[in-house]
Amino acid sequence: MGPNGPSVDSVTPLAGQEPLGGERVAVEQWKRRFLIAGLLYALYILWELLLLLIFPNTSEGVQAFVFVGIATSLLGLAILLGLSVIALMRIRKTDLPLDLRQGALMRLGIALIPGIAVSLFIPVWILREPPLSIDFSPADPSELIAPLAVEFSLDRAVSVLQERGNTPIQYVWDFDGDGKPNKTTVVPRVQAVYDREGAYSVTVAVQLADQSVRTIGHRLIIQQAIFSVSPTLPIVDQPVVLSVAHLLEDVNALKEVQWDLDGDGKVDKSTTAPSVTYTYYQVGTVTVSATILLQNQTQAKYQRSISIREPPELPFPAILKADPVRLMGTAPFGALFQIETEEPVSRILWNFGDGATGEGEQIAHTYEKEGIYTVTSEVRSASGVVAELSTVVRVLEELQLSDLDFNGTPEVRGNRITGEVPLTINLTPVTAMPFVEFFWEVPGASEVGSTEGALQAVYRREGRYTLTLVGKNAQDHILRLPISVEVTGASSTIAIRLDPEGGVAPLDVKFSASETFIPGETISGFEWSFGDQSETIFGGAQVEHRYTQPGTYTVNLSVQTIAGKNLTAQKSIVVRAPVFDACILPSRTSGIAPLGIEFSSDCSTGNIREYFWNFGDGWESGEKNPIHVFDTPGTYEVTLTVIGADDQMREKSITITVR
């Protein structure tokens, strides 16, 4: 308080007053304090504005400042409120005129109210839910070339929601901004395919456990389009469909498409259709180019790199099966698709690639127009996990083969085959048209050998079957020829197998009737007669017998059943007489005197009655296998003479050298 009366705020002197003496020093001190307080107040306001710019923010490094920001704001609020209370009390206690007190109160409000307001607003702002965004890949704009698959992810947004106690349970995606859902998922990731260039408004409605919804959007701009690849992520050893159809205003204006499928600069396929199918057998990246030639003589060339990958691991085992197995034919072409899995399934969705969709574990579809279609199946398990499977259907122009014929057995008459069980089929299609590949579809066959070109199959069950011949030429024209197969019950068959089927006496032969078949009967035994005056044998299906004399013998087999039936069969065997000849096997042919040698005639053949040996040194023998000692060095000619039962004679000589 000055000598002339107090100031309003104890700092500012009343109008017309000048501080004197010690008061002047006090005023200067208050001014310095006020300047420092004002500077701190300004720094505090700047700090609060900085927090206003930074938050809300989902970055991990920034999240560490959340507590600091809230704490400083609340501390600043407490200080400002405390100063306001003190100042209000001082203004209230002063006895100055009302207009001066009102002016002081106004100056106080102008100074402190912004700080108080900011201190109250900043904690609310910091704790506010930050903006949620959609991440996508590829993120590089230069890679956004249609058609392409874009993978969208809400992982960061889900993390923010979960930190705030919100649990997402479902995601409804709109990929083109038309307001209609394109896909619903239970995971925060999804893939969408864009065929054309353009700007797309991508939105996703995130449904939370508390029934609330968060809508997140992103604008995707695709500036360029090239030929399509289906599936978008090609898999090794599986057909890939490449198409320029979406690049053509009028498909009828197309003259030809020249495809370089392996990046070697050479045309691998030329097609008059906008699509082509190709299979890659190695994992890696390949450059593919397509040159489009139009009827008006204009052309355009497109090029892109595609990555061939290993089949992705499914979240659970599942198989996509189709009937027919080879999904190719002429329009209208019908096929049956089925998913096989042991996983409990809640829903199976189908996209047939021609605009049609369906639902179910097994579903049929008919393609009315020519084209190459990728069939995809989305299998959702009971736990919400999704497995995606795909295959390719080719509906092509018909292949005409007027000279088609078949080599082999049985005979094909009017696209019909008949025969008894077991029916063995060995057929090879024949045509004069070059570069035609043939394949066979053989459902219901008991055994299937070859189905590429030649057919080898066996039917062991009675019934009516349909096998199909599929033919395709270099122009991708297709033939599907169904052949009816009627397999009737087998008649009684008494089979006799001989091992060997002939030979030189004495001959041991194994006989087998194991393939004997009598419909509706139980065999009780086999009676064998070998035709050589030996005793008849009653026994099993397999027996052995020795023929000691040459001749032609008739083997008789009688098969008896429990019901009393008796069926017979015969088979002949020729037993030849052995060739009559002499043969010598010495233990050695040379050595030092005295030299002992064992001579064997066991290799001689025929019905031999007598043996006569001449050793060339004056000695002889009538034994079959004699031993002789040569006492004197020299060269000796040893001769064996054999005499047969009919007085035939054969001789054999060898030379022995004694040193």
Tens of pLDDT, residues 613-650 = 999 999 999 999 999 999 999 999 999 999 987 788 99
The most confident of 51-55, 337-341, 486-490, by mean pLDDT: 337-341
Q: Which of 72 and 283 is assigned the larger pLDDT? A: 283
Report how far apart, in Å, the C-alpha atoms of 122 and of each of 42, 109, 458 are.
16, 19, 84
Q: Is the pLDDT of residue 3 over 50?
A: no
End-to-end CA distance of the chain: 159
Topology of 319-391 in CATH?
A: Immunoglobulin-like (2.60.40)
Domain 585-658 bears CATH identifier 2.60.40.10: yes
Query: pLDDT at position 22, please?
Result: 57
Q: Residue 375, Cβ neighbours under 10 Å: how many?
A: 21
Q: What is the mean pLDDT of residues 104-112?
A: 79
Mean per-residue pLDDT of the chain = 86
CA neighbor of 650 nearest in space, from 598, 609, 600, 618: 609
User: 135-224 maps to which CATH number?
Assistant: 2.60.40.10
Q: What is the pLDDT of residues 216-226, one digit of tens each?
A: 999 998 888 88
What residues contact residue 153 under an 8 Å CB cut-off, 6+ apart? 134, 135, 136, 137, 188, 189
Backbone angles phi, psi at 218, to 5 degrees: -155, 145
| pLDDT score recorded for residue 2 | 41
Identical fold at 319-391 and 585-658? yes
Q: How confident is the model at residue 558 (pLDDT cuts 50, 70, 90)?
A: very high
- Could you report the per-residue pLDDT of 571-599, keeping only the tens digit for each? 999 998 878 888 999 999 999 999 999 99
Encode pLDDT of 356-412 as tens digits.
Answer: 999 999 999 999 998 888 899 999 999 889 998 989 899 999 999 999 999 999 999
Give yes or no for residue 177 having a pLDDT over 50: yes
Residue 438 pLDDT level (bands cut at 50, 70, 90)? very high
Mean pLDDT, rounded, for 188-195: 86
Written as one letter, the residue type at 378 is E
DSSP 517: B
- Segment 510-554, tens digit of pLDDT: 999 988 888 878 888 999 999 998 889 998 899 999 998 889 999
Question: What is the average per-residue pLDDT within 314-342?
Answer: 93
- Residues facing 307 on adjacent strands: 285
Reported in sequence order, the residue ranges of 324-415 that DSSP labels E, i.e. its strands, are: 328-329, 333-340, 345-351, 357-359, 362-367, 371-381, 386-395, 405-409
Q: How confident is the model at residue 81 (pLDDT cuts 50, 70, 90)?
A: confident
The stretches of 94-163 forming alpha helices (DSSP H) are 98-126, 155-163
Q: Where are the domains of the chain?
A: 22-126, 135-224, 227-308, 319-391, 405-467, 497-576, 585-658
pLDDT of 60: 59
Topology annotation, domain 497-576:
Immunoglobulin-like (2.60.40)
Residues of the chain with pLDDT > 90, as a percent, come to: 41
Does 26 score more than 80 pLDDT?
no
Q: Is the pLDDT of residue 5 over 50?
A: no
pLDDT value at residue 580 = 82
**Mean pLDDT throughout 69-79?**
81
pLDDT for 63 equals 62
Supply the Cα-derived Rg of the chain in whole angstroms.
Answer: 51
pLDDT band at 88 (very low <50, low <70, confident <90, very high): confident
Check residue 585 and give its pLDDT.
Answer: 93
SS3 letters for 551-599?
Answer: EEEEEEEEEEECCCCEEEEEEEEEEECCCCECCCEECCCEECCCEEEEE
Name which residue leads in pLDDT, 407 or 504.
407
How far CA 57 is from CA of 46, 117, 139, 157, in Å, comes to 19, 22, 21, 12
DSSP state of 489: P
Q: What is the mean pLDDT of residues 462-484?
A: 91
Tell me, what's the pLDDT at 6?
A: 47
pLDDT at 23 over 80: no
pTM above 0.75, yes or no: no
pLDDT of residue 512: 93
Phi-psi region of 640 (alpha: psi -120 to 50; beta: other; left: phi over 0): beta
Please tell me the class of the 227-308 domain. mainly beta
pLDDT at 329: 93
What is the band of 117 on the pLDDT scale with cuts at 50, 70, 90?
confident
Q: Lowest-pLDDT range, 67-76, 185-194, 260-269?
A: 67-76
In the numeric block, which tokens belong to residue 425? 């089929």
User: What pLDDT, on the 0 to 100 scale, is given for residue 614?
Assistant: 94
